Structure 1
Amino acid sequence: MRAVCLALPTNRECADTVTAVGAEAAHAARRFGVRVHLLVLDSADPAARARHAAAAAALPPVEGVVVHHLDEDAQRAFLRGAIERSGLPGPDRLLDLMLPDAVSYGACTNRAFLLAAALGCTSVHRRDSDSRYQWHDGAPVFPIEHELATIGLKAADAAAAVTEHTLDPAHADKPVALVGASFIGELSVDLGEIRELDPETYHDVVALWAPTGATEEERRELVAESFTGAGTKPFTADRAVLDRPDIWRIDMCNIALDHEVYERVPLPPATDTIGSDYFLHHLVHDATLPGVTHNRHIVNYYTPERRTGSGFTAYQERYAKFLLSMLYLHPVYADMERAGDALLDEHHHVRPEAIADSARRSAATDRAENHRRLAELDRCYRRLGGKYAEFADHLAPARARLLDEAQADIEDFALLIDAWGPLVRASRATPADRLPR
């Protein structure tokens, strides 16, 4: 029986989401005859964890669904064991990259990847705590319907399960490496208030993540495409396109990845940085691996803590670090785009050493552009006034630290890529009595 991992990482209260994702797991097991490991990776506070545990325990038992609710202690114990079995040097450093004290969207998903390997899964299907399913004709619209119909299949075989097939026949023998859709509702990055307050400033703030040297037209196109998902139009009928994946229309709350990708290259483990979990989108696309882009979009919403007080400050700082991360990621993306299918070996497997080498080279990029980004962000936030001007006051003394952290993040990514193969093999070799429960 094929085993798959339906993962829900969370650091906030989301008992209702646990229940909803549990229903998706049950649907998948019944519909596709697979074993679904429902994996809740819980970094929330004790009270929220207790509510999550109660929600997980209350899920109706379904043949083929195995529920794992792991707090950070349980995750750490698993990781320590895998790192020890890998025999890699610097075990404490690796543990910090896999389970840092700070928020890391890449690291939490990397933990799901290793746990999925330990559980014998062939794919990971990720959902987020601040999202809900659409409903149509009285039933939830589960993305896993498209994901399990095509993920991992040779593209030529997956063609029968989609509504449109536009893939170049040259890629027909390659496996479907990514299946995903987007979201409807609020922007994926919490900048909607800025757009309402001052559209010109919104353009300037979002355009800061454009590559160095981008033209004004390219920046405007980037702003128009960024963070908007699938808009607001609700689901009415299925559409699924087999091609190289449309990475602008696929979000991490609504994605499936084949193990042949994530067992070779991890996500950047950057801390306090939004967007660090989107790297594999680019890798799959640039390596010319097939994907399916569908329209079973998730409903996105924001929890209030991101918009007031310390929550606002923390989120805006994560956005600032996202902008700084682009100095190092854009050159890696450019290298991957130039390499194309040379990123793959003769078996259509990604060559991780090419990515690690590119990341190491990128770490030496001159910081001048990042100094400019921080100065421009300061100008924009002071123009907005109020809490944004207060955030600019917070950001000013943190500039040197943030610049150093952004460079360290890409160096850490290269280090983790080098260690990833042994970590995956060690995870697969986890003794049965130590598998996460």
Structure 2
Amino acid sequence: MQRVCLALPTMRPCPETIVDLAEEAAYAVATFGAEVHLLVLDTTDDASFAKNADAVATLPATPGVHVHHLGNAQQREFFLRIAERSGSAHDPELLLDLMLPQGVAYGSCVNRLFLGAAALECTSVHLRNDDFEYQTQDGQKVYPIHSELLSIGKPAGQAAAGVTVSELDPADTEKPVMVVSGSFLGELNVDIGEIRELDPQVYHDLVRLWTPPAWSDEDRDAMVDLSFKGVGAEPFVTDESVIGVPDIWKVYMCNVALDHRAYEKLPLLPALDTLGCDYALLHALVHSKSAGVVHNRHIVNYYTPERKTGAGFVNYQLRYVKLLLSMLYLYPVYGAMWDAGSDLLDERYELKVEPILAMVRDTFDADRAGNEHCLDEVERSYRKLGGKYAELADVVAERRQRLLDEAQKDAELWAVLIEAWAPMAAAARTEGLYPAADGASR
């Protein structure tokens, strides 16, 4: 029996999403006979937590589905306990801050799910988010976990029987399927669509800033056209899936299943307020030529209103700015991964961590001139848009040095977490999700 973790990080009230995920979990039990642990890691305030807890409390009891809803205090206890028991040379309080920081950290929230899944002794984690909907067909929801459980963790040669197209190299049949992913429909997965409506050229210029500077103009412009768009409006009709080495443009971190032999090896970048830092593991798997499946059970992405105006608008747009700055440190790592290819895998086809750690350390002294130029262009573009974007440009100018310093510090802290990760994952599996005296979940 597969023991899997259907995982949701949230920082807002999302009772409807919790109900939807419980239904997806029940589907996985009924269809595949899996044991599903629905893990909700909730960093909301007390009032919002209560709304989510009410949703959990009213879920129907389903044999084979186990629901875990942890708030800030429970998460803090768990991650500090794991950090202390891991035996890492790093300060447990520092590791706790990297796992559960005071602020929005897309990589950290997924890292927490990874260790939660390890503590629950799951063999795979199936990631969703709190601002999505399922597609429907003939009134039935189209659950990604259907495609995921057909393949995740299986030898690729065996999993090939469950897909519609095989692009698998005959030499790779013994590789385990480490990643299964669909994409998304709906709004851009980075909330900058308003900029495109206001001024398509400014939109092009801002998106181009996140493309690799070493690429040709033609390739950079092609990347702009691809970025953040998912599959457009392509609706689900019938299952289509491809096994082989996935295309990085066809995997989406909010609609993905990962094998434990991947996420227990390499953590995501624990950067604060930085979009895109949760994709590092996917890059490692794709560039190392690990086996994966891409399917068409895409989810529907939408955005909640708090990021559209006022402080919510400024905070979200700064996360995009920090995405741009992070690439000075991430692109060299991704490029080195690409160059290493399958040499990043050991004899069991699992990621070698030491070479990746060396790649990350090599970026610490990167020349900041590229990021200085990036911020110049960001300010120019925002001022051209005027209004609230001109005010945003003032914020960027005011925080300029801080933003530059944080981008470098984020890379350094990623190296710290990579060093500590394997012992922390092992400690999570040994310790379990709950203190021994607390017993099991509901």
| Shared fold per TM-score greater than 0.5 | yes
| Structure 2 CA distance for aligned equivalents of residues 86 and 243 of structure 1 | 35
Matches within 5 A, 1:32-431: 32-89=32-89, 90-430=91-431
| Structure 1 CA distance for aligned equivalents of residues 104 and 311 of structure 2 | 14
**Aligned partner of residue 242 in structure 2, secondary structure:** strand
Opposite residue 20 of structure 1, the aligned amino acid is D
Task: Report Cα offsets for 1:329-352 as digits up to 9, x if no partner.
Answer: 000001100001110111111111
**Aligned partner of residue 362 in structure 2, secondary structure:** helix
Query: How many Å apart are 1:212 and its aligned residue?
Result: 2.4
**Aligned partner of residue 277 in structure 1, secondary structure:** helix
| Structure 2 CA distance for aligned equivalents of residues 278 and 319 of structure 1 | 14
Q: Is the 8 A contact 1:78 1:436 kept in 2?
A: no
Query: How many Å apart are 1:423 and its aligned residue?
Result: 0.3
Normalised by the length of structure 2, the TM-score is 0.97
Query: How many Å apart are 1:195 and its aligned residue?
Result: 0.7
Normalised by the length of structure 1, the TM-score is 0.98
Query: How many Å apart are 1:57 and its aligned residue?
Result: 1.3
Task: Report Cα offsets for 1:360-398 as digits up to 9, x if no partner.
Answer: 111111000000100001001011111111100111010
**Aligned partner of residue 36 in structure 1, secondary structure:** strand
| Structure 1 CA distance for aligned equivalents of residues 155 and 425 of structure 2 | 23
| Structure 1 CA distance for aligned equivalents of residues 295 and 402 of structure 2 | 40
**Aligned partner of residue 297 in structure 2, secondary structure:** coil
Q: Is the 8 A contact 1:328 1:407 kept in 2?
A: yes
| Structure 1 CA distance for aligned equivalents of residues 299 and 292 of structure 2 | 18
**Aligned partner of residue 337 in structure 1, secondary structure:** helix
Tell me how many residue pairs correspond in the alignment: 437
| Structure 2 CA distance for aligned equivalents of residues 376 and 169 of structure 1 | 47
**Aligned partner of residue 242 in structure 1, secondary structure:** strand
| Structure 1 CA distance for aligned equivalents of residues 327 and 84 of structure 2 | 33
Opposite residue 254 of structure 1, the aligned amino acid is N
Task: Report Cα offsets for 1:261-309 as digits up to 9, x if no partner.
Answer: 0000011111100111111111111111011100111010001111100
**Aligned partner of residue 167 in structure 1, secondary structure:** coil
Relative to structure 2, which stretch is displaced further, 265-274 or 163-172? 163-172
Q: Is the 8 A contact 1:70 1:436 kept in 2?
A: no
Q: Is the 8 A contact 1:171 1:288 kept in 2?
A: no
Query: How many Å apart are 1:436 and its aligned residue?
Result: 6.9
| Structure 2 CA distance for aligned equivalents of residues 234 and 303 of structure 1 | 22
Opposite residue 57 of structure 1, the aligned amino acid is A
- CA 1:152–1:391 in 2, change beyond 3 Å: closer, same or farther? same
Q: Is the 8 A contact 1:5 1:36 kept in 2?
A: yes
Structure 1 gaps of 5+ residues are none
1:7 counterpart = 2:3: no
Query: How many Å apart are 1:246 and its aligned residue?
Result: 2.0
**Aligned partner of residue 96 in structure 2, secondary structure:** helix
Taking only the aligned residue pairs, the percentage that are identical comes to 54
Opposite residue 97 of structure 2, the aligned amino acid is D
Query: How many Å apart are 1:237 and its aligned residue?
Result: 1.1
| Structure 2 CA distance for aligned equivalents of residues 167 and 271 of structure 1 | 37
Query: How many Å apart are 1:34 and its aligned residue?
Result: 1.2
Opposite residue 12 of structure 2, the aligned amino acid is R
Q: Is the 8 A contact 1:118 1:435 kept in 2?
A: no
Query: How many Å apart are 1:2 and its aligned residue?
Result: 2.2
Opposite residue 114 of structure 1, the aligned amino acid is L
- CA 1:109–1:436 in 2, change beyond 3 Å: closer, same or farther? farther
Task: Report Cα offsets for 1:36-82 as digits up to 9, x if no partner.
Answer: 01000101122211111111111111111000000011111111111
| Structure 2 CA distance for aligned equivalents of residues 383 and 214 of structure 1 | 26
Query: How many Å apart are 1:216 and its aligned residue?
Result: 1.3
Query: How many Å apart are 1:233 and its aligned residue?
Result: 2.0
**Aligned partner of residue 276 in structure 2, secondary structure:** coil
Q: Is the 8 A contact 1:273 1:318 kept in 2?
A: yes
